C-alpha cells in the first residue's frame, strides 16, 4: 500500500517565512541581532543568480534613507559566519549603501528548508525568471526525491504549474538562455516546445527572433508540423521527421481523443517508435486529464 506524504505548503506568502508583526515563527530556535555584513554569505542553493543593478541601487538608496525595514533571515554556521536564508537582495543593497551591520533573524534550518525558503522568498518578493524557477524545482525533486505532486504541495503551487515550469528545461539551450534573458517570452517558448524535435525547435526560435511571429502563429506552425506538413516560412523550411502517422494508428488516435475529450496528436516512425501528445487549453483541463490518469492507476 502506497503512503502519500503530506508537506506544509510554503507558497502562502511571506507569512509562511516571516511574520510582518516583528515576530518570526520557526520550527527551530531564532533570535534577532545586528550582524556584520562581512560575516554574511549567500546561500549556495539560492535559485536567483542575477540581480538587476539598477533595482539594487534603488533599494540601496531607500536603505540609506530609511534603513532596513524588514530584517533578513540567516542561519549561523560552525565558523561563526552566517548564511542567508532569505533577503540576499537586501544584504547586497545594504553593502552598496555602506552599512556595516544589518538587522537579521538568526535561526536554525536544515539544508532542505534552506533551499525551499530561498525559492519561496524569491518567488514572493521578486519573480525569478522562468528557467531559474524550473532549475530550482528540478533541484528539489532530484535532491530530495520528490514527485511533482509532493513538490507542488511544498511550494504551494498547482501541480500543472510545476509541470509546465519543468517542461521548459526540455528546450534547446539557446532557447533556455533567451528565456532566461527575457529575449523570448514563456508563451513563445511553450509554443516552440510543441515541435518536440530539438532541431525544429531551434529553427522556430530563429523564426520568432527574426520575423516576430506571434504565439498564435507559432502554435499554428507547430500544429501543421505535427500533422506531417512541411512549413515554409522566412529563411527556413520546417519539417518534423518521423511524424507521419501510419493509417492503422488513426483509429487509436480517435479513441484516445474521445476518451480524454480533447485533441490527441501522435507521431510514429516506420520502426514503430513515436509519441502521444494530449492537448489542453488551460490548467483546469490539465488537472482533469491528470485526475483521469490517477483514476486509471488506482
Select which of 23, 83, 88, 132 is catalytic.
88
C-alpha cell at 63: 536603505
Cell 525559492 found at: 119
Measured CA to CA in angstroms, residue 283 lies from 75, 162, 190, 288 at distances of 37, 11, 14, 9
Angle value at C-alpha 241, between 235 and 246, nearest 5 degrees: 135
88 a catalytic residue:
yes
Cell 549561523 found at: 76
| 240, 197 Cβ separation under 8 angstroms | yes
Query: What is the rounded CA–CA span in Å between residue 116 and residue 177?
Result: 24
| 261, 270 Cβ separation under 8 angstroms | no
Query: What is the rounded CA–CA span in Å between residue 164 and residue 166?
Result: 6
Query: What is the rounded CA–CA span in Å between residue 276 and residue 290?
Result: 15
Angle value at C-alpha 288, between 130 and 128, nearest 5 degrees: 10
Measured CA to CA in angstroms, residue 158 lies from 118, 135, 213 at distances of 19, 17, 30
DSSP symbol at 246: P
Nearest Cα to Cα of residue 252 among 271, 272, 222: 272
| 124, 157 Cβ separation under 8 angstroms | no
Would you please indicate which residues are annotated as catalytic (active-site) residues? Answer: 88
Amino acid at each position: 500500500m502506497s503512503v502519500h506524504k503530506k508537506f506544509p505548503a510554503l507558497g502562502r506568502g511571506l507569512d509562511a517565512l516571516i511574520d510582518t508583526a516583528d515576530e518570526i515563527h520557526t520550527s527551530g530556535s531564532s533570535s534577532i541581532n545586528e550582524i556584520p555584513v562581512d560575516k554574511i554569505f549567500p546561500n549556495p542553493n539560492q535559485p536567483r543568480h542575477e540581480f538587476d543593478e539598477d533595482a539594487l541601487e534603488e533599494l540601496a538608496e531607500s536603505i540609506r534613507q530609511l534603513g532596513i525595514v524588514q530584517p533578513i533571515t540567516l542561519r549561523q554556521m560552525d565558523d561563526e559566519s552566517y548564511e542567508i536564508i532569505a533577503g540576499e537582495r537586501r544584504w547586497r543593497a545594504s553593502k552598496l549603501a555602506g552599512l556595516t551591520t544589518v538587522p537579521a533573524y538568526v535561526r536554525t534550518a536544515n539544508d532542505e528548508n534552506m533551499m525551499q525558503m530561498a525559492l519561496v522568498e524569491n518567488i514572493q518578493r521578486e519573480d525569478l525568471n522562468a528557467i531559474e524557477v524550473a532549475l530550482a524545482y528540478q533541484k528539489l525533486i532530484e535532491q530530495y526525491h520528490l514527485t511533482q505532486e509532493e513538490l507542488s504541495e511544498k511550494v504551494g503551487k498547482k501541480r500543472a504549474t510545476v509541470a509546465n515550469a519543468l517542461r521548459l528545461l526540455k528546450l534547446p539551450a539557446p532557447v533556455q538562455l533567451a528565456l532566461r534573458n527575457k529575449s523570448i517570452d514563456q508563451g513563445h517558448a511553450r509554443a516552440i516546445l510543441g515541435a518536440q524535435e530539438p532541431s525544429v525547435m531551434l529553427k522556430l526560435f530563429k523564426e520568432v527572433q527574426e520575423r516576430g511571429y506571434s504565439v498564435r502563429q507559432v502554435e499554428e506552425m507547430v500544429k501543421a508540423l505535427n500533422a506531417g506538413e512541411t512549413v515554409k516560412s522566412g529563411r527556413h523550411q520546417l519539417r518534423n521527421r518521423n511524424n507521419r502517422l501510419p493509417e492503422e494508428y488513426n483509429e487509436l488516435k480517435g479513441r484516445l481523443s474521445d476518451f480524454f475529450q480533447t485533441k490527441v496528436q501522435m507521431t510514429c516512425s516506420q520502426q514503430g517508435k513515436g509519441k502521444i501528445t494530449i492537448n489542453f487549453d488551460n490548467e483546469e483541463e490539465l488537472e482533469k486529464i491528470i485526475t483521469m490518469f490517477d483514476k486509471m492507476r488506482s
